[in-house]
Structure 1
């Protein structure tokens, strides 16, 4: 925007604002001449509940789907294998398509692949007690790949696929460097589970996590298919599930809500975060992410970590929530084919070893959907070298529901914006859909709360620019630094970055959260663009917690999750700030009283509250 925001001067700049986005043309792969090869086999057959023994005696169970010949019998040849490890009960999702099931396996099976779908330890039909990405489960994931690598129906070459839990399992499996693993295709995986989803900004997630834990536990209570043939094993599996509910799931939720150790970052979450082992992943990786996904923050971090090390990696980030990203809904709009076609191309090249000279020319390293212009932008990196920081100062006093403050690169008007706690803030937003994994979108697709954030903005303070004269293009994470005071010493900021159209419609682009007492900043682990902080890293430990003193005004850096967006000429950039984000986050019970008091944002030369965006 010339790195300085000015008032709209001419309508002609609107056209100029849409030309320089660098879009990836729709149908790029098809235009290059690549076409998905046709199916070779008409049918398939599935062997259920194969025994996969682990080194500690626990037996996992897997379903194997093989292509069949004209006689209806499994083909008598060794095949490349695609492995999927799920926590959602393979008997319920096997062979399905869409939602958390991902792509249907029949597409690859009909083209000469074997599909092995395995219930993770302590879930579905597998034995043991579930530990949700524990070190033991990561070891299991590597062992499953090696088991598939060595079977008589396998040619020894293995890939992995699947979204969400199945995507995260792929990263842990790859970190074990199992024999035979050639490539992975994780959709919507996490990087840092505490900051990505469990406690974004330091408050406990009460939207998705309880639903997820309940889903895994409930799916595990379905009796295994082999129960009639192996009653002792079937009964033992049921006992294991009940143990999971009573010794892991329920205590974890209870302790987090009561503000005990699970409410803070530490070894438990480090063990379950793929970013902690990403330096041991070296197989080609294709990532799919969503701008409204649960792992909006984490998937690009995985991409950048692999890209920096020279691992063959690609990523497509679209306008998707978790269910949409898991299903691959609309992935073809990026121009590279459907989810099944992309998987075929990736696995044919890296697993089957079929040369594809045009692959890198057809599909750039990173492609994202640009909100505001509805274009697809291709780049080499997420935090690219051509980015530079744009910092805007919050100015004046914003009065909730009455008058906004301003965002400026000029002089600041001293002010104080007092925000009363409004415990329904967040209900009428895309945040509510995002942090319930996309359920709101599924139930009520035409919900006006998904399209316009104006109602929610009335529950907090807003600061906005004048209409822009030139486009402002944002790519990556954002930092909001709010100089804060509060009589209780604590509370939480919920910050939303928005696009205000000339007709007043408010489009939520992205959001971020930060508990005031967890404001300690680890500069070594934070991210900067040209020396400007764009992604703060807070420890979120009990020992680092520091409530504000009475009368103290201190800066609080709020990590606003990464996005790709363009604020077009004539539109305004808005920052909206609330003290709650429901049903996403709630404070632990002991902290609840300290969040029910007003918070104050200070804006002045002495207290320069700002927002810093990576722009291009």
Structure 2
């Protein structure tokens, strides 16, 4: 193949972005696979993310086979697996990162406009057939939703592989509670490859060139060239214009979409993939759901085959069989961490038996109501403790739970607010919790949901019984001791639960933690104790005088607190 390094792409305000282009060495016009992001195209996967690379190499050797792997980079396609099949691969360093100068402002309207111009540039080159597809993981997936809203004429299809969409609900504030992930991520993965690091940054392992530009700027100059991401998020605790400018306009996302999500991506991306599939206005859209780590299946044969069948159909005009692809492709999860592939005709699955399990504070049980509601009862927990668990009796037959969940809780607080952390857990007959390799954390629970009680106002137009959507624009504080009705979104899950196992709903006032030893990844600052890096531990957002409170759950009678489960018949 022909490789062109640091090809210039001039934007409308005169900033020149830099792209690497990998294309067939036979003259012609080819479909283009494009990515745009801040991780420095000249930083190798192996050097920048060694623990993730080593884990993938050990568990998915097919991800490395058939390639020299010298062009591998984090969360983007390997050109050696695409160019031989007649594609051009273009990698663009986003403004202010890697080889591209300018000011870093992640997910900003300026970045989205840059992406639009890169799509149009790629669609009009002499080696392009005029059809550009976007493909990539995480950041390289999230910004696809955004640029698709601008409808670049040469954009032909997008593959959103584990990509959040709504900047407020999916990414920065879970149920209105701020996550500190972005503060740590920015310093670990973005500023470390900022343009201007020069001699202090990495080198391209193939060319030896400085991956972050030839100039070496001072720390003061570097700081002036980047937005304060964490500070901006902290300054916007509600879903205002800042967040909407960094989120899709769903009725303008009309391009063909393959949305590929991860059951274990609870802290980031899972909601974007499933909700994005529901909300996108595209006439042609598909949802795929899998497990395993955040990156592995994207590079493995399973993911590459899926991506090529989709792009082959929409970019290259090939008969890949995609015309007969059902709308939903699931990897159904089992308690032994194996998966069974299955196709469905919709999401949520149309034959779902929505099952309400009522909480009873008297004996901390979960159960279906067979007549009169249980007698009124209440239970109080300290928000700084482990919370309280409601348990369903051991299952008498295998029960599959696949789809979105929700809870209706009647709650009072000892203070003017309360943060609710809901965890759906499964235990085997011996009492051992069933946890899974999540997108990042090695011990991820079955499902999680969050809600700040003062953010309880629902969006009446968008909400469904199985998907409460909150406005996050009109917080209303609580009167201590008064009872409030709260609808809590719990992110989708998938698990075939065997007979003899127990389903538990845990309600608590802080992040879930598993009892097993913490995991670690080289690109993450904090140990992985169950929620990965997606923690809610900023005392400015959760002052002790408000959130180190006592919360009382009210059940039975007029306060029919319950968990809604998506039970899927065989």
TM-score past 0.5 threshold: yes
Superposed counterparts of 1:418-457, under 5 Å: 418-422=380-384
CA-CA distance at 1:79 after TM superposition: 2.7
Distance in structure 1 (CA, Å) of the matches to 2:347 and 2:230: 38
1:479 match:
406
1:445 match:
none
CA contact (8 A) 2:468 2:488 kept: yes
CA contact (8 A) 2:182 2:230 kept: no
1:409 match:
369
SS of structure 1 residue aligned to 2:184: helix
Between structures 1 and 2, the one with greater helix share: 1
SS of structure 2 residue aligned to 1:302: helix
Superposed counterparts of 1:510-521, under 5 Å: 510-521=447-458
Taking a change above 3 Å as real, the CA distance of residues 297 and 121 of structure 1, as seen in their structure-2 partners, is same
Distance in structure 2 (CA, Å) of the matches to 1:232 and 1:106: 25
CA contact (8 A) 1:100 1:327 kept: no
Name which of structure 1's ranges 211-220 and 592-601 shifts more when overlaid on structure 2. 211-220
Which string of whole-angstrom CA distances, capped at 9 and with x for unpartnered residues, describes residues 498-534 of structure 1? 222222122231010111221222222212xxxxx22
CA contact (8 A) 1:368 1:564 kept: no
Taking a change above 3 Å as real, the CA distance of residues 212 and 315 of structure 1, as seen in their structure-2 partners, is farther
Q: Does 1:393 align with 2:358?
A: yes
Q: Does 1:179 align with 2:153?
A: yes
Which consecutive residues of structure 1, in runs of 5 or more, have no partner in the other structure? 1-43, 68-73, 399-403, 424-458, 528-532
Taking a change above 3 Å as real, the CA distance of residues 184 and 521 of structure 1, as seen in their structure-2 partners, is closer
Q: Alignment RMSD, CA only?
A: 2.9
Among 289, 307, 313, the alignment partner of 2:285 is 313
CA-CA distance at 1:240 after TM superposition: 7.0
CA-CA distance at 1:567 after TM superposition: 3.0
1:545 match:
475
CA contact (8 A) 2:186 2:229 kept: no
Distance in structure 1 (CA, Å) of the matches to 2:34 and 2:85: 16
CA-CA distance at 1:80 after TM superposition: 2.3
SS of structure 1 residue aligned to 2:82: helix
1:525 match:
462
Distance in structure 2 (CA, Å) of the matches to 1:390 and 1:121: 48
2:524 match:
none
SS of structure 2 residue aligned to 1:147: helix
Taking a change above 3 Å as real, the CA distance of residues 415 and 96 of structure 1, as seen in their structure-2 partners, is farther
2:20 match:
63
CA-CA distance at 1:344 after TM superposition: 2.2
SS of structure 2 residue aligned to 1:303: helix
Taking a change above 3 Å as real, the CA distance of residues 213 and 413 of structure 1, as seen in their structure-2 partners, is farther
CA-CA distance at 1:141 after TM superposition: 1.1
Taking a change above 3 Å as real, the CA distance of residues 537 and 250 of structure 1, as seen in their structure-2 partners, is closer
Among 158, 161, 166, the alignment partner of 2:132 is 158
Among 90, 111, 119, the alignment partner of 2:41 is 90
1:248 match:
228
SS of structure 2 residue aligned to 1:375: strand
CA-CA distance at 1:469 after TM superposition: 2.8
Distance in structure 1 (CA, Å) of the matches to 2:169 and 2:73: 24
Name which of structure 1's ranges 466-475 and 279-288 shifts more when overlaid on structure 2. 466-475
Distance in structure 2 (CA, Å) of the matches to 1:237 and 1:367: 50
Superposed counterparts of 1:86-125, under 5 Å: 86-93=37-44, 100-125=74-99
Which string of whole-angstrom CA distances, capped at 9 and with x for unpartnered residues, describes residues 90-145 of structure 1? 11148768884243121001222221100112222212212222222212111101
Distance in structure 2 (CA, Å) of the matches to 1:511 and 1:250: 24
Taking a change above 3 Å as real, the CA distance of residues 232 and 213 of structure 1, as seen in their structure-2 partners, is closer
Taking a change above 3 Å as real, the CA distance of residues 174 and 96 of structure 1, as seen in their structure-2 partners, is farther
Among 471, 481, 502, the alignment partner of 1:572 is 502
1:606 match:
558
TM-score (normalised: structure 2): 0.80
Distance in structure 2 (CA, Å) of the matches to 1:156 and 1:132: 28
Total equivalences in the alignment: 499
Among 535, 538, 546, the alignment partner of 2:467 is 535
Distance in structure 2 (CA, Å) of the matches to 1:409 and 1:364: 36
Superposed counterparts of 1:118-517, under 5 Å: 118-207=92-181, 209-212=183-186, 214-221=188-195, 222-223=197-198, 234=215, 241-245=222-226, 247-249=227-229, 251-252=231-232, 256=234, 261-274=235-248, 277-293=249-265, 294-306=268-280, 309=281, 311-320=283-292, 324-328=293-297, 337-356=301-320, 358-361=321-324, 363-372=325-334, 374-397=339-362, 404-410=364-370, 411-422=373-384, 459-507=386-434, 508-517=445-454
SS of structure 2 residue aligned to 1:92: coil
Distance in structure 2 (CA, Å) of the matches to 1:590 and 1:534: 28
SS of structure 2 residue aligned to 1:89: coil
SS of structure 1 residue aligned to 2:295: helix
Which string of whole-angstrom CA distances, capped at 9 and with x for unpartnered residues, describes residues 391-418 of structure 1? 11101346xxxxx434342442432221
SS of structure 2 residue aligned to 1:122: coil
SS of structure 2 residue aligned to 1:252: helix
Distance in structure 2 (CA, Å) of the matches to 1:52 and 1:569: 59
SS of structure 2 residue aligned to 1:338: helix
CA-CA distance at 1:213 after TM superposition: 5.3
Distance in structure 2 (CA, Å) of the matches to 1:232 and 1:317: 38
Which consecutive residues of structure 2, in runs of 5 or more, have no partner in the other structure? 46-68, 435-444, 513-533
Taking a change above 3 Å as real, the CA distance of residues 80 and 207 of structure 1, as seen in their structure-2 partners, is closer
CA contact (8 A) 1:201 1:513 kept: yes
CA contact (8 A) 1:192 1:298 kept: yes
2:520 match:
none
Name which of structure 1's ranges 278-287 and 573-582 shifts more when overlaid on structure 2. 278-287
